[in-house]
């Protein structure tokens, strides 16, 4: 005989028509719970994005997180929670962004838009530990902190430039800050040769 809870697939009844799990639930909570901490997340796929729904122990929606659709098969095998620091976490495999993308030693994976629930590829990048702390906020400055790279508010892009013989030379525009920095480093050597100079440390990243 099946458990009398319609959504339950347990074949064996334990007591009062319930399987053991549901019998214990009714005994403890006075009712059959819709969700428990063991109930898998709800997943929804919209276009290229897989949305993961996180519920608290009272079945209330706690938050939604996002991952690329192509990782659905990989992530749906686990139960994901939002941990105390706001990351998407599973007790066995750890934080989702690290589970999906391993970073080289000494480097970290950073959420570009600072939303830890957004683990889509386009929102993640590999940065050194120092750079990652830079992107954690609290710093108010409009400069990029990197010589030759500045944020253009109107175009909403990182502009790369250098000066030679008192003339400014534009080296291009980028959406991604690290791409702009790397482009600058590459181009500057071509233009200035052995006189090329660039900051070794990037101090500030801020755009609005
Ligand atoms: Zn049951």
The pair of three-digit structure tokens given for residue 108, joined into one six-digit string? 């970290």
Q: How far is the CA of 7 from the centre of ligand 1 (A)?
A: 8
Cβ density class 53-88: b for 16+ within 10 Å, e for less: ebbeeeeeeeeebbbbeebeeebeebebbbeeeebb
Q: How far is the CA of 21 from the centre of ligand 1 (A)?
A: 6
- Threshold 0.85, pTM exceeds: no
Q: Which of 134, 158, 178 lies at the terminal end of a domain, its last residue?
A: 134
Residues 9 and 19: their CA atoms lie apart, in Å, by: 9
Residue percentage of the chain with pLDDT more than 90: 37
Q: How far is the CA of 24 from the centre of ligand 1 (A)?
A: 10
List the domain range (segments joined by +) for residue 182: 140-208
**Contact between 19 and 13 (Cβ < 8 Å):** yes
193 and 110 belong to one structural domain: no
Residue 200 has pLDDT above 60, yes or no: no
Q: How far is the CA of 43 from the centre of ligand 1 (A)?
A: 23
The pair of three-digit structure tokens given for residue 192, joined into one six-digit string? 């200035």
Query: Which residue, 104, 107, 110, is CA-closest to 87?
Result: 110
Q: How many domains does the chain have?
A: 3
Q: How far is the CA of 63 from the centre of ligand 1 (A)?
A: 27
Q: What is the pLDDT of residues 55-107, one digit of tens each?
A: 987 788 889 999 999 999 999 999 999 998 899 999 999 999 999 887 766 67
Q: How far is the CA of 33 from the centre of ligand 1 (A)?
A: 11
pLDDT for position 207: 39
Q: How far is the CA of 106 from the centre of ligand 1 (A)?
A: 48
120 and 48 belong to one structural domain: yes
The residues that bridge with 183 in the sheet, in sequence order, are: none
Q: What is the pLDDT of residues 8-51, one digit of tens each?
A: 889 899 999 999 999 999 999 899 988 887 889 999 999 999 99
């Amino acid at each position: 005989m099946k458990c009398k809870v319609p959504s339950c697939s347990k074949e064996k009844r334990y007591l009062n028509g319930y399987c053991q799990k549901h019998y214990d639930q009714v005994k403890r909570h006075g009712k059959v719970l819709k969700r428990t901490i063991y109930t898998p997340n709800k997943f929804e796929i919209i276009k290229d994005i897989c949305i993961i729904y996180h519920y608290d122990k009272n079945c209330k929606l706690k938050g939604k997180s996002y991952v690329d659709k192509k990782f659905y098969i990989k992530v749906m095998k686990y139960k994901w929670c939002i941990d105390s620091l706001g990351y998407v976490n599973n007790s066995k495999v750890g934080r989702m962004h690290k589970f999906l993308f391993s970073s080289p030693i000494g480097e970290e994976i950073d959420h570009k838009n600072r939303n830890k629930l957004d683990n889509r590829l386009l929102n993640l990048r590999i940065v050194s530990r120092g750079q990652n702390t830079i992107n954690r906020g609290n710093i108010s400055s409009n400069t990029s902190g990197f010589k030759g790279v500045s944020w253009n508010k109107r175009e909403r892009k990182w502009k790369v430039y250098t000066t030679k013989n008192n003339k400014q030379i534009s080296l291009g525009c980028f959406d991604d800050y690290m791409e702009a920095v790397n482009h600058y480093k590459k181009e500057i050597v071509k233009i200035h040769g052995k006189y090329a100079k660039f900051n070794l440390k990037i101090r500030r990243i801020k755009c609005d």
